[in-house]
Each structure stands twice: as C-alpha cells, then as structure tokens.
Structure 1
Amino acid sequence: MRTNGEYAQHPKGAEAQFAAEDRDELLQYELTARQEELRNRTRELAEEKFRPRALEWERTGEFPWENIQALADAGLIGMSVPVEFGGGGGTWLDAAVILEEISRTCYTTAMAALGELGVQTRALAVYGTEAVKRKYLPLIAEGKLICSVCITEPDTGSDLNALQTTATSSNNSYLISGKKALISRGDVAQLFVVYVRYDGKPGSSGVGAILVERDTPGVSIGEAQPTLGGESLYEITFENCLVPTSNVLVEAGGLTRMLTAFNGQRTLNAAISVGIAQGAQDAAVIYSSHRHQGGRPINEYQGIGWMLADNAIQIEAARLLVRRAAARAGAGFPSRYEAAVAKTLANEMALTVTDNVMQIFGGHGWLQKNSAERYLRWARYGPLGGGTPQVQRNGIARHLLKSAEGML
C-alpha cells in the first residue's frame, strides 16, 4: 500500500492515483457479485428453514440433519469440496460468508456445518491421497458424510506437544489408542480426523493425523454432554483400533501443516461470531424501534442509539478482519497471524455486542422466548473453541517479536 506522499505527484491528485492503482487491493475483501448471490441464497434459506426451529434443536439435542440436507440441496454444504469431487470449489471467503449467514439464525446449524465447510474438508482435499479424496469428498458434498476433528484430550488442550493418543505401526497398519474429550458431532460423525502421536516419538516431531471410520472395532462414543449453546459434546475412546497406513492424513512431524490447516477453522469460528453478533444487533434494532418509553421508541434515546452505533462499529471491524484472513488465503490456508487477529477480535466483539443487546432488551431480554438470551449464550462458545483469546494473543505476540528481530 502506498503512502499519501507517494500520490502527491500524480497530475490528477492523490485520490485519482489511489483509485487507479490500488482499487484491487482495497476491494479484495469486498464480496463479488457471485458471493453476494451466495450470501443472499444462504440468508433466504436460513430465515425460512433454520430460524423457526433454532431453539427446538437446542432443546432436543438432536443433530439438524434436515438443515444439513437443505444446505446440500442448495449446493452450500459442499462449497469447500473441489469441483472434481462434486463440490462447489469455493474459497475460504465463500465459506465465511455462508457460516456468517447461518449463525445469524441458528448456532446449532452453523456448528453442524462448520467442519464440512472448514478444516476437515480442506485437510482431506489438500493432504489426502487420491483414494481418500474420491472416497469421502463426494459424500461430504452431498451432505451424507459428517466428519469430526479429534484433538482435545482430557488433559491436553492447545498444547499438542503433550498429545497422548498413539498410533503404533503394525504390519502396514496402525493401532490407534487414546481418549479424546469435548468432541463436536461425536454422535453422528462417520469419519474422525484423529490427532495422534506416531510410534511414541516425543514432542512435535511425533504428532500427525490419521483417519478413523466410526465402525472401526475399538471406537466407542461416550454419553452426550449438553452445552450452554445447545450443541452436545462427546468423549471418544480409541482402543487398539486397527487402521491401514493409507488412512494417514498427515505423517509424523507434520504438526506445522496441521496447525496451518487449523488457521482456517479459526477464521470460520470468527465468521460465526460475526454472524451471531449481527443477528443480535438486527434483533436489537427491531426491538428498540417497537419498544416505547416516554412516548417514543427507545432507540431515539442517545443511550440506546450509542449502544447500537458501538455495536455496528465493532461488527464491521471484525467482519473486515475475517474477510481479510479468508480472502488472502488464496488456494491455501489463512495465515496464523491474520486468523488469530480476526478470531480474537470477533470472539470478544460478539460477547460485548450480545451483552449490549441483552441490556437494550432490558428485562424482556431475560426471557427465553426472546432472542437476546440465546445470542448471548451462542456468543460464549467462540472464545473457547479453536484456541482461546489468550492462546491467540501468545501467537500474535510471537509473530510481532519475530518480525521485529530484523529491526533490532
């Protein structure tokens, strides 16, 4: 990006030079006409199909299969699957747009679609063998295969160097043993992307990922553990599960590749936070227009108007950071730094915005029949999944210090 001083000599002035030479750079986070259509299509589907039953999915704890099928029928759930395997061949920005619109109306459905639009599908497409891609990706595009990433263990969260689940080589196969905790979609996933330690190798040099199908002998799923947002999490045990070496997704020493792939999940987690905040903000604008005090709508009072304005500022800032991380990923994965910045701001923004919305609703926001309370609950997951804001800040700081080494 050029500075204003570099435009000073342009005969038509700085603004003309700026527009002529940097328009593409400025608009790289704007949606194309195709993406606008994609957003509108997703919003229409979400409003018609997902919003009316959002609380029902939470209360029953059921997986929203019919919503996943509706997304598949609309060509949305397979957006991240390459075209040659029956998908839409879309970008990370496409996925972020879709998830933002879904999460405006139904957190449960957004979380159900996250993996198929995110790291599971992308990891299979980038790291999987040709046989793996042909076996699983078409089913994902059709909404018939749900994948689950198994990283967290009872005693291991973000510290993957302490990973204890093992993959021990045995006659062109691997024996998988270990326990995973807080796993999304354990009740319905047919394929698990399991982070493992190969052959007891210590530290990051031994960490990789392997695919384990649900019906593999030795796989057992624990009881559902309901969450504040309505989604249930599961404990999954792998006890001497024998899988072929062809199921290896990332070999030992591939931790960097795996973490790079997970930057996409962080970016999409942030997109969900933006969608939740936008949904809450929309509800607050409508409510404050209809709610009267002192003979006029409450949004005519400066105290309420400023809260709405502050919400809008924070949502727009977070959205632009999410789009930057997604748009600049290209055909690969978002950068660690940009994903961390976007996720940290978006997660914390959603908590602030939904809390403001609860305050705007006042006592009525405390009622479950109104949407303020559910948006506040939904927003709380973002900072917990995919690495906490504290972990993200550690990564951001390391990036800054490393970048500064050459200046010292």
Structure 2
Amino acid sequence: MLSTRLYAYHQQLSPLSPDPFLMTAERDRDARMQSTSKAAGAREAQFALDEVQSDLRALAREISEREFRDRALGWERTGEFPWRNIKILAEHGLLGVALPEEYGGGGGTWLHAALVLEEVGRCCYTTAMAALGEVGVQTQAILKYGTEEQRRAYLPAVSAGELICAVCITEPDSGGDLAAMGTILTRSGDGFVLNGHKTLISRADVAGLFVVYTRFAGDGGDRPIGAVLVERDTPGLTVTERFDTLGGEGLYGVVFDDCPVPAGNVLVREDGFRKMLSAFNGQRCLNAAISVGIAQGAQDAAVAYAKERVAGGKLLGAHQGIRWILADNAIQIEAARLLVHRAAAEAGAGFPSRYHSSIAKTFANEMALKVTDNVVQLFGGHGWIKDVPAERYLRWARYGPLGGGTPHIQRNGLARHLLGDL
C-alpha cells in the first residue's frame, strides 16, 4: 500500500542541508499552517490532508529540494530531457503514484498525483512537465479505457521510469479546435493506417509511446474522434522539428505517414470524443497543480529575500507595501491550491469533472502569472537576472495558460455549463 511504501522511502532519506534563501520561508509557512489547523480543530478537518497524503507531499518536497532544484537551470540550458530526475521519481514510487499496485504503482488517486506535481513544480518546471503524462494523464487514459493487454504492456514500464508517453493532439492548423482535427485512421486489412501531422508535442524526443488523437475514417457522427497507441519504432513515425521554449522544455513536431496501427492498439473508439475530453480534464487539473507549485516557489523566494534585503534603512519586509504584496500572494496561492484539491479529490476512480478542473486551471494559471510577476517586481533589478530564482519562476508560469486549453477555452466551457447552448 501507499502508506507502507512511503514509510520505507522515508527511511532511505538523510536530512537536508538548509538553504536559507529558498527553504526557510517554506518551513516557517508550514509550521504556521499546522498551528492554525490545530487551533481550528474539527472545523478545518474536511480541508486537511490525511496522514498518507501529508507524508507523500513531504517526501515529494524533500526529493525535489534535494535532487531537482539546484539542477533546474541546467536542464533548461542544455535542452536535455531530465532522465535522471524521472528515474529518481520512479525509484521512490512517485512516478506511478496514481496507478494500481498491480501495474507497479502506488495505488493513489488524482489528489496524490497533484500533490507530487505541485512539489516538483515548486523546484523544477522541466521535471514537472517531463513527469506530467506519467504521473497522471496519458497513463490514466490507458488505465481507464485500455484493454488489460494494453495496461500490462505499458503501465509497469511507466511506473518504473522506463517508458515515457507523449500525447499528440495539437496540429499545425488546429489547436484548441479538436473538431478541425485532420489526422485520420483508415482501415487496412485487419488493422489500420494512420496519417497526420501533430505539432508542439511535449516529450516527443524521448517518448516510447504516443497516445494519438485521431479521426476514424468511415465512422458517422459530427466528431468521429478517438485515440490510438503508436510505439516509437513504428514505420512512418517521424519526430521532426524542435521548438525551444521560454520555459526550457523542448516541443516537437510528429508526422505519421502511413503508420500501421494494429487493431489491438486502438485505445478509444466508441464515444471516443467524449471519453478523450474527459481524460483531458485530468491534464487540466495537474497543469493547475504545477502552476500552484511554481507560484509557491516564487513566493518562498520572495519571503526569504524580504527578510534579508535592506531598503530605506530597514528590511524590505518591514515596508507595508511589500507586506501587502506577499499577503495578497499568499491568499491567491491558497485559494488556487484548494481549487486544485477540490477538482482532484472529487474524481475518485474516474476523471476530474470538466467544471471543477476548468475552474482550477483558469484560476491557478492566472494566479501564477500574477504572483510571479509580483515577485520579480519585489526583487527589483535583481529579479531580471537569470541566476536569481524570481526570473525563472516568471518564465515557468507562462506555459500554464497555453497547455491543456487556454483560459478562453475554459471560460467558454464554464459558460456552456452554466447557460447551456443559447
């Protein structure tokens, strides 16, 4: 069970050496939060993490601070995929935390996945994005919709950090408009042939398995869209151009040219459009968790800086204007965190709802942009220097609103939920 594995992992970890610039504020904050929670008593119990969840978060935080934070800029500068960090997450049971134990996972939930990704995102955006599909999105689609043969073929390798999955949705001529998708799967003998061009695909340089959204030729309906599993060595699959990004993560083009797809590799066909959109709600929820982590990391750096920097003859944190900025940041971060936990916790054995995942994503993405901008401003000229944490957090926060559906798309969906089709 997850609790047993967490106990074993904690025994392997030695104490961290303190980093006063980034860690003191975080630990002070946790101590204050624990004190507040105890004082509130039973009234706050419904909002508290249980012991296993708290231990999981502590483990993810300790690993991220120890192993990921100091190397974060290195991954950006080299453009390399953080295989080392993926292996560390796998060794500690965090990569497959939301997968059943029978597939090498920890038997956790979407909330466990969100807790892990928040802590990883607080220290290293590149690693958080590298783990996003493995911790929750692509693997959960295979778990929920795949055959037993598909689950056993791929999920244990993901949990072990041996297989990276990439989801292929966006196309050069269709981003958020899935109905305009041009990739097509055509029947050929006992199987299918896949043709299409995907772009801006994360992890395509190292992925061993591609979860490809596609149209099914000959199927009726307005949106005959489903998904297939395509292994990297499939003839006709080509990873093309690389796009270097503001956050340091590489994105790629992927072309499918008469790729043979066995019938056994169809992941979703019947009611495929609805099912794959439901699966994508998980991506929205975890995207939001990463945004919360980024904002919290920036806030921790700002609090530590405000306690050290002297301006106008007194500490920066003694100025009321600075204190209010940090207080407003804290309000926004805590609100976003609660929205993420709400969306993740309600999912149970299914996927987060479109309604709550869209609310969480929109609020968390926009919150992270505002908080990180506040932090850069608080650092002054130093906030513009690349080796200072404020700058990297601002860059990291910018991807959130772009991936998994823009805030405009989320607001359209929320309005449709509230008003129906007018």
* TM-score (ref. length: structure 1): 0.91
Match of 2:171 among 138, 153, 156: 153
Distance in structure 2 (CA, Å) of the matches to 1:171 and 1:31: 52
1:290 aligned residue: 308
1:215 aligned residue: 233
Question: Residues 306-336 of structure 1: CA distance to partner in whole angstroms, max 9, x if unpaired?
Answer: 0000000000000000000000111100000
Distance 1:263 1:29, change over 3 A: farther
Distance in structure 2 (CA, Å) of the matches to 1:268 and 1:378: 15
Matches within 5 A, 1:186-225: 186-201=204-219, 204-225=222-243
Amino acid at match of 1:153: E
Query: Unpaired runs of 5+ in structure 2?
Result: 1-40
Distance in structure 2 (CA, Å) of the matches to 1:329 and 1:204: 28
Distance in structure 1 (CA, Å) of the matches to 2:200 and 2:267: 22
Whether the 8 Å contact between 1:29 and 1:323 is mirrored in structure 2 is: no
Query: Unpaired runs of 5+ in structure 1?
Result: 1-18
Whether the 8 Å contact between 1:325 and 1:342 is mirrored in structure 2 is: yes
Distance in structure 1 (CA, Å) of the matches to 2:176 and 2:46: 32
Q: Give the deviation of 1:29 after TM superposition.
A: 4.3
Amino acid at match of 2:352: P
Write out the 4+ residue segments of structure 1 that deviate beyond 2 Å after TM superposition: 26-30, 200-205
Matches within 5 A, 1:58-77: 58-77=76-95
Match of 2:62 among 44, 64, 89: 44
Q: Give the deviation of 1:295 after TM superposition.
A: 2.0
Question: Residues 169-225 of structure 1: CA distance to partner in whole angstroms, max 9, x if unpaired?
Answer: 111211000000000001000000000000154664310000000000000001321
Matched, 1:272 2:290: yes
Q: Give the deviation of 1:27 after TM superposition.
A: 4.2
Whether the 8 Å contact between 1:148 and 1:184 is mirrored in structure 2 is: yes
Whether the 8 Å contact between 1:29 and 1:327 is mirrored in structure 2 is: no
Match of 1:371 among 368, 389, 404: 389
Distance in structure 1 (CA, Å) of the matches to 2:224 and 2:188: 16
Moved more, 154-163 or 303-312: 154-163
Distance in structure 1 (CA, Å) of the matches to 2:116 and 2:282: 14
Distance in structure 2 (CA, Å) of the matches to 1:393 and 1:31: 29
Matched, 1:348 2:385: no
Matched, 1:362 2:380: yes
Identity over the aligned pairs, expressed in percent?
A: 64
Distance in structure 2 (CA, Å) of the matches to 1:202 and 1:378: 42
SS in structure 1 of the partner of residue 210 of structure 2: strand
Matches within 5 A, 1:167-186: 167-186=185-204
Distance 1:347 1:294, change over 3 A: same
2:411 aligned residue: 393
Distance in structure 2 (CA, Å) of the matches to 1:92 and 1:367: 36
How many equivalent pairs are there?
383
Matches within 5 A, 1:124-139: 124-139=142-157
Matched, 1:316 2:334: yes
Whether the 8 Å contact between 1:197 and 1:252 is mirrored in structure 2 is: no
SS in structure 2 of the partner of residue 290 of structure 1: coil
Distance in structure 2 (CA, Å) of the matches to 1:381 and 1:297: 33
Distance 1:28 1:204, change over 3 A: farther
Distance 1:249 1:173, change over 3 A: same
Amino acid at match of 1:89: G
Moved more, 105-114 or 199-208: 199-208
Amino acid at match of 1:84: E
Q: Give the deviation of 1:390 after TM superposition.
A: 0.4
Distance in structure 2 (CA, Å) of the matches to 1:192 and 1:326: 25
* TM-score (ref. length: structure 2): 0.88
